[in-house]
Amino acid sequence: GQNIDQPTEMTATEGAIVQINCTYQTSGFNGLFWYQQHAGEAPTFLSYNVLDGLEEKGRFSSFLSRSKGYSYLLLKELQMKDSASYLCAAMDSNYQLIWGAGTKLIIKP
């Protein structure tokens, strides 16, 4: 079956670095997405990886290893506004997104 796993909750300190991991199993693979979702709001797009390696975008970076079925989202210089849920989603061979349950990130001062 198709499955996405990511931690339920993580806690980090303002100004620090945090890495949110995601493992996936899908029927075929057409890329891996990360979204940010603040409580009660819509998800917003953060990154897309389809090739192995690291993609950097400001304070946020995303990594993909297709052979390991693994991705992570790296957040640097954490700010209080980064407190949110982070959703990992893999696109299968039919271009359907398989979603993880999300990782709630709590930032402490």
Query: What does the binding site for other proteins look like in residue numbers (CB under 8 A)?
Result: 4, 8, 30, 33, 40-45, 48, 87, 89, 95-102
CB 6 within 8 A of CB 20: yes
CB 84 within 8 A of CB 75: no
Q: For residue 46, which of 31, 35, 38 has the smallest C-alpha distance? A: 35
Nearer to other proteins, 6 or 82 (CB): 6
Nearer to other proteins, 40 or 109 (CB): 40
Locus of tokens 């970076």: 61
108: CB partners within 8 A, 6+ apart: 11, 12, 13, 14
| Least CB distance to other proteins at residue 100 (A) | 5
| Least CB distance to other proteins at residue 78 (A) | 24
| Least CB distance to other proteins at residue 48 (A) | 6
Nearer to other proteins, 18 or 90 (CB): 90
